[in-house]
Amino acid sequence: MKRTVLISGAGISGPALGYWLHRAGWAVTVVERADALRAGGYPIDIRGTAVEVVRRMGILRQLREAHTGTRRYTFLNSDGGVVASLNGPSPGRSPEGHDLEVRRGDLAAELYSITRDDVEFLFNDSIDTVDQTGGGVDVTFRSGRRRTFDVAVGADGMHSQTREAWFGPEERFHRYLGYGFAIFTMPNTLGLSRELMMWNTPGKAAALYAVGETDELHAFLNFHWPKPPFAEVRGPGARRDLVARVFAGASWEVPRMVGAMRDAADVFCDTAAQIRMPRWTGGRVALVGDAAYAPSFLTGQGSSLALVGAYVLGRSLATHGNHTAAFAAYEQDLREYVAVNQALVDSGRARLFPATAQALELRNSMLRGLDHMPSATARPAHSALRL
Ligand SMILES: Cc1cc2nc3c(=O)[nH]c(=O)nc-3n(C[C@H](O)[C@H](O)[C@H](O)COP(=O)(O)OP(=O)(O)OC[C@H]3O[C@@H](n4cnc5c(N)ncnc54)[C@H](O)[C@@H]3O)c2cc1C
């Protein structure tokens, strides 16, 4: 009899885990709250060890074709004057030389395309309750259907409901990193192409990113805030108002960005935070990806952790005859890699989003001395794990 798994979430880590478990002979079901996969989206990085994972999945060529190939990074001061204008990272100079940047939706679509024929996807549904008192995981879905699986895995992102239900409230595991942000799309009236422009004052950043040749820009407003800014601000309108107040009086394109945020249908406001848990598994359930160890966008490592975490969990379940031994191996093999990647947050934060005038000047003088964008991130993040 095939072993069975239910995975909650069809983002990055869910389908990636589904791929490895199907290959190992499991019957895989993925339940996704949304009606369908979301296309496009903001750019994400696939770096180091994660590049090897996507190579082993057979999608490296497709992802190279989807590589955004950003050609120019322009950094602006508070008046909108140019501080530095850098070419994209030089592949020849990076230690790995092969890191990728793709739209999140392109990666999700590749993962879906290699699993859709072999994995059962249940869209527009989610887990309502689980009961582990029998010899498996008895699941009731929101739609009312009931099924039993050998194990269940939460791959439902930073604000995971499976984590909440199985391990406790988010506050227990949430580490606030000092920033709030809003992202949304707006028309590319500036005619930007394959480039990022970032405006900074101490503690505030506004970025416009033209991912490829596109008539749409990804807009990003990020601000330093001592306490989680949206904790007591409920509702999308109030959150937009808060962001608009923070950026009132700013120069460059910021007033237009704030106006576009008010009209945008896809505004996403959140805080920069990490998820840190002492254990990612318990009984017959486990967490993977952002649900278990979100490192925050400040590290640029979220997708890499999701891909590598899914690989290690898949390998552990495939090679151990029972879930207890498999989960122990997953915790042991991945822990250091997660810790090293989450620790990158301090250097990443200092580099892109300085909160003080002094830190901003330090960053700017570093940028003025460069002609290429430095490639990604500190390398220990990629050597803490052997695949
Ligand atoms: C603004 C921003 C910028 C980022 N920039 C980068 C970057 O530059 N580089 C990088 O590597 N990473 C970046 N990330 C992080 C990256 O997107 C995540 O780390 C990565 O997508 C994690 O994958 P995941 O599969 O674990 O979770 P997700 O991609 O969040 O997928 C979770 C899935 O679960 C579904 N879901 C949620 N709740 C339920 C439920 N109750 N039942 C069923 N399904 C559910 C969701 O609809 C979604 O499909 C960024 C994230 C944000 C928000």
**Domains plus CATH for the chain?**
4-69+98-172+276-347 (3.50.50.60), 174-273 (3.30.9.30)
Q: What is the pLDDT of residue 268?
A: 93
Residues lining ligand 1, Cβ inside 6 A: 8-14, 31-34, 42, 44-45, 104, 126, 155-157, 161, 183, 289-291, 294, 297, 300-304, 306
Residues in the chain: 387
Going by CA atoms, what residue is nearest to atom 5 of ligand 1?
297
Q: What is the pLDDT of residue 98?
A: 73
Q: What is the pLDDT of residue 165?
A: 97
Q: Is 107 exposed, middle or buried (0-12, 13-18, 19+ CB in 10 A)?
A: buried
Going by CA atoms, what residue is nearest to atom 19 of ligand 1?
302
Q: What is the pLDDT of residue 97?
A: 53
Q: What is the pLDDT of residue 91?
A: 60
> Measured in angstroms, how far is the CA atom of residue 282 from the centroid of ligand 1?
22
> Measured in angstroms, how far is the CA atom of residue 1 from the centroid of ligand 1?
33
Structure tokens at 140: 């009731």
> Measured in angstroms, how far is the CA atom of residue 114 from the centroid of ligand 1?
19
Residue 300 CA: nearest ligand 1 atom is 9
Sequence-distant (6+) residues with CB within 8 A of 210 are: 188, 192, 193, 194, 195, 196, 217
Strand 285-287 to 281-282 pairing: antiparallel
> Measured in angstroms, how far is the CA atom of residue 366 from the centroid of ligand 1?
31
Going by CA atoms, what residue is nearest to atom 48 of ligand 1?
11
Determine the Cα–Cα distance for residues 278 and 272; give it in Å rounded to an integer.
20
Q: What is the pLDDT of residue 380?
A: 46
Low-confidence ranges of the chain (pLDDT < 50): 92-96, 378-380
| Ligand 1 site-directed mutation target among 17, 32, 220, 299, most atoms within 8 Å of CB | 32
The upper half-sphere exposure of residue 247, i.e. CA atoms within 13 Å in the direction of its Cβ, equals: 28
> Measured in angstroms, how far is the CA atom of residue 105 from the centroid of ligand 1?
10
236-246 and 254-263 helices cross at what angle (nearest 10)? 180
Closest CA to 1 of 142, 137, 149, 114: 149
Determine the Cα–Cα distance for residues 384 and 387; give it in Å rounded to an integer.
10
Determine the Cα–Cα distance for residues 125 and 55; give it in Å rounded to an integer.
31
Determine the Cα–Cα distance for residues 186 and 245; give it in Å rounded to an integer.
19
Is the distance from CB of 139 to CB of 146 less than 8 angstroms? Answer: yes
> Measured in angstroms, how far is the CA atom of residue 277 from the centroid of ligand 1?
18
> Measured in angstroms, how far is the CA atom of residue 374 from the centroid of ligand 1?
25
Is the distance from CB of 307 to CB of 53 less than 8 angstroms? Answer: yes
| Helical H segments across the chain, by residue range | 13-23, 49-56, 60-66, 104-113, 161-167, 236-246, 254-263, 290-293, 302-319, 323-342, 345-352, 357-368, 380-383
| Ligand 1 site-directed mutation target among 33, 218, 342, most atoms within 8 Å of CB | 33
Sequence-distant (6+) residues with CB within 8 A of 237 are: none
Residue 288 CA: nearest ligand 1 atom is 26
Going by CA atoms, what residue is nearest to atom 26 of ligand 1?
289
